[in-house]
Structure 1
Amino acid sequence: MGFTRKRKGPEGTRYQALYDDARGVRQTAGTFGTRKEADRAWQRAESRIAEGKAGDPRRARQTFRTYVEERWFPNHRIEASTRQDYAYALASHVMPYFADMKLQDITSETVREWITHLKKQGASAYRIKYCKTAILNAIFTTAVNDGVLVYHPSRGVKTDPVPEKPRQIITADQFARIYEALPDATAQLLVETDIESGLRWGELTELRVKDLDFATGILTVSRSVVELVPKFHPEGRRFLVKDYPKGKRWRRFKLSPQIVAKLKAHAEANNLAPEDLFFSRRRAEPPKLELLDPDTLTFEGPNGRTYTHGTTTAYSLGKCKCHHCRAAYAAYRAERRSQGKDNPRKPRIIDDDPHISANWFRTRCWHPARAAADLGWSPRIHDLRHAHASWLLAGGADLQVVKERLGHRKISTTERYLHTLPTADETALEALAKIRATQAGQDAPADLEAQLAEAQAKITQLQAVLADQLIAQHTETRPNLRSV
């Protein structure tokens, strides 16, 4: 039970509101000039405890940086890739403005001023919306739920609209041109599997032999891999395999017989086991070392001078990287380090993870093939997934089936791919041309007259059926009326 304590000081009589928190620890709700105000303060505090919203007003005096870095961010449950994105967005756009402010001093006006500040710095409308909606709202919502704040500063604050641009879909001809320009058969198979299945990059590069039933052609998507900066990886590595795809539910669908046959031939040619990845980064075997006689064998360097193998000058000036020259240079550096003359860098950690890096595939395979195809625009690898959905819907596939294949949560997401191909409006244009031709007094085509006659006959038939149904209903209701 809370109470008010009377206190006397240099400023006169003051009244301190006291109450016990949920742990039974005595807390203060503030000091006031009248007993009535103090009574209201401890009563409000007890009401919040009863509602499960207990909090200490003094916690709102901590800075934004302290709360985010020590309490919110370490304990916020999000995916590792999302945590990485949040960290960079916080460092670039949020912390420079809010870091030293006290939580209790941040208001809706402060948030609006921050949005204006980002716009002046040249941040895009999408980036501002992401920082405000995804990050700032989450921070303040947690602070309110935990009782740190009683007011949500960013709720109701609007950002500039981000227009949804129309999708540009890869056509079959454009895909064929990119496919032919890819560097090797493995890259071609990877890209063809992507457009045949509509998999996301993380699902495609985590696809293993055991996930495809070669007999039935059924593919099971049960995992995904994300590429991270090592400091955001739980084990300090680059690739993190998740035991679920995006959407957190498995899905199964059938692949075409031709792509199943190609994947089976690829697995057999490379002796892939059930646990092996279909597409992986395979290291080339190191070349066999040629034994040389460093005392007698010399060579001419790129600068025109003659050098002897197995010397430091041959390695550094002659640019020779053979086994003997590398060993001589390594021995030279080791001797200097033993004498404390050099401060060597940390040894490079060799990453033996077989997953393919998205950036590597873009720069080595996709971008060169895209440039060679000369499409007039720059499709991404992810646009193959969009093309898969658009091609299926344009070919008459059921909307619900496409939704399940792509793993969308809402069917409205799948509906965005309707009428996205360049030929989608041709039917509408043909109908418009027919109407304009008729209104202009031109003779309607013969097939149009036949269609109109057929439609009129169907309308007459439907009218007759409706009349028979009305008569039957009238007959059925008359006995009921007599009984009433």
Structure 2
Amino acid sequence: MDAEAWLAINSAAIAEGRWRKPVAASPADITFQEYAEDWLRRRELKPRTRAEYERLLALLMEGFAAKRIDAITPDVVRRWYESLDPTRPTRRAHQYDLLRTIMGTAGDEEIIDASPCRIRGAGKAKRARQIRPATLADLKVMTGALPERWRVLLQLASWCALRFGELTELRRMDVDLDNGVLRISRGVTWVHGEPIIGDPKSQAGVRDVSIPPHLVPDLEAHLARFVGPRRDALVFTAVGGPGHLNHGTFYKAFRHARAEAGREDLRYTTCVTPGP
């Protein structure tokens, strides 16, 4: 009788499209920590992205580690989200976005029926205030306040819209002054204090970028003064050595430069397009 009842229930589920393929372990046997760690191991990620996911996953574990994955309901997710610090909207959005991605995969793999992450807009951080981009006057003051070896870096960032990792992996062989072109094919990221050289974020990131004519003399002078003769010599380096310039070192100087311009609100990303 039990077997016939089981067959009737599953036959009805098949007919109604509710039947789910059995998995090696039932959701009752799988904790969020077990599934999430396995999920991360199976992802093909760049080192910087993996390190960031590991950091966010450690935060998620504080609320979900021991919970059965099928016990994480929309109400559980909502209460967890409401407990996060609202004064840190970016971190809260990134945590939610990773949780939604993991639980979405669990749904796709039929470990759970459906993702419980249903809070509209929770994966997007709202900027508290709009930052006014740097003007040409701001850029002039900041450039003059930077150490000489990094002045052209800020100019290229502003006029060519280049990422920090693209500029700090730029080498002499990538600079074509005759044709006024920078050849972008690599970038550097920092993972656990070590520089990791890799491809740009996307295939579209491999590109030639025109150097504005008014910057060519400054870049030529920079190459002659601060860059070694080897083809693979870095164009922008750390102080006192040939190694890669990291964010922390540059930002100490950048914070001073933006203060000189009276623009303490600026970040590197708001300097990439000078205003009128």
Q: 1:171 — aligned with what?
A: 135
- Residues 268-417 of structure 1: pairs in structure 2 closer than 5 A: 268-269=224-225, 270-281=227-238, 283=240, 354-363=243-252, 365-371=253-259, 373-387=260-274, 391=275
Alignment partner of 1:86 is 2:53 = yes
Aligned to 1:157: 119
Greater relative CO (CA pairs within 8 A, separation 6+): 2
Whole-angstrom CA distance in 2 between matches of 1:366 and 1:44: 62
Q: Secondary structure of 1:382's partner?
A: helix
Q: Deviations over 1:177-202 (max 9, x none)?
A: 2222223x212222222223221101
Aligned-partner Cα distance in 2 for 1:85–1:380: 20
Query: Over the residues paired in the alignment, what is the CA RMSD in angstroms?
Result: 2.8
Moved more, 160-169 or 271-280: 160-169
What secondary structure, in the 3-state scheme, does the structure 1 residue paired with 2:214 have? helix
Pick closer, same or farther for the CA change 1:42–1:60 going to 2, 3 Å: farther
Question: Which residue in 1 is equivalent to 2:223?
Answer: 267
Contact 1:213 1:219 in 2 (8 A): yes
| Matches of 2:216 and 2:14, distance apart in 1 | 66
Which aligned pairs between 1:240-255 and structure 2 lie closer than 5 A? 240-243=196-199, 245-249=200-204, 250-255=206-211
The amino acid across from 2:254 in the alignment is W
Q: What CA distance in whole angstroms lies between the structure 2 residues aligned with 1:257 and 1:226?
A: 29
**Equivalent position SS for 2:203:** coil
Question: Does 108-117 or 268-277 show the bigger shift?
Answer: 268-277
Residue number in structure 2 paired with 1:456? none
Q: TM-score, normalised by structure 1?
A: 0.51
Q: How many residues align?
A: 271
Pick the structure with greater CA Rg. 1
Runs of 4+ in 1 over 6 A off after TM superposition: 45-48
How far is the alpha carbon of 1:282 from its aligned partner?
5.5
Deviation at 1:42, TM superposition (A): 6.2
Checking the alignment, whether the CA contact within 8 Å between 1:55 and 1:146 is kept in structure 2 is no
- The answer (yes or no) to whether the contact 1:125–1:159 under 8 Å persists in 2 is no
Q: Give matches, 1:415-434, under 5 Å.
A: none
Aligned residues of 2:172 and 2:235 also touching (Cα < 8 A): yes
- The whole-number CA distance in structure 1 between the counterparts of 2:136 and 2:10 is 70
**Structure 1 unmatched runs, 5+:** 1-5, 7-13, 16-34, 231-237, 285-352, 395-484
TM-score (norm 2): 0.86
Q: Give the structure 2 partner of residue 110 of structure 1.
A: 76
- The CA distance in 1 between the partners of 2:265 and 2:192, in whole Å, is 26
1:127 correspondence with 2:81: no
The correspondence for 2:63, drawn from 93, 97, 110, is: 97
Measured after TM superposition, the shift of residue 44 of structure 1 is 4.5
The answer as to whether partners of 2:131 and 2:270 remain within 8 angstroms in 1 is no
Q: How many Å separate the matches in 2 of 1:271 and 1:109?
A: 60
Cα distance change, pair 45–80 in 1 and its aligned pair in 2 (3 A): farther
- Structure 2 segments unaligned to the other structure (5+ residues): none
**Equivalent residue for 1:434?**
none
SS at match of 1:378: coil
State percent identity of aligned pairs.
Answer: 23
* Structure 2 CA distance for partners of 1:55 and 1:355, relative to 1, 3 Å: farther
- State yes or no: 1:198 paired with 2:86: no
Shift of 1:101: 0.8
Cα deviation for residue 360 of structure 1 reads: 0.9
What is the distance in 2 between the residues matched to 1:240 and 1:169? 30
| Alignment correspondent of 1:27 | none
Q: Which residue of 2 aligns with 1:306?
A: none
Q: Residues 206 and 224 of structure 1 are in contact (CA less than 8 Å); yes or no, is this contact kept in structure 2?
A: yes
Deviations 1:115-144 (A, max 9, x none): 12224xx55333322211x20111111112
SS of 2:245 mapped into structure 1: coil
- What is the one-letter code of the residue matched to 1:253? V
Q: Which amino acid aligns with 2:224?
A: E
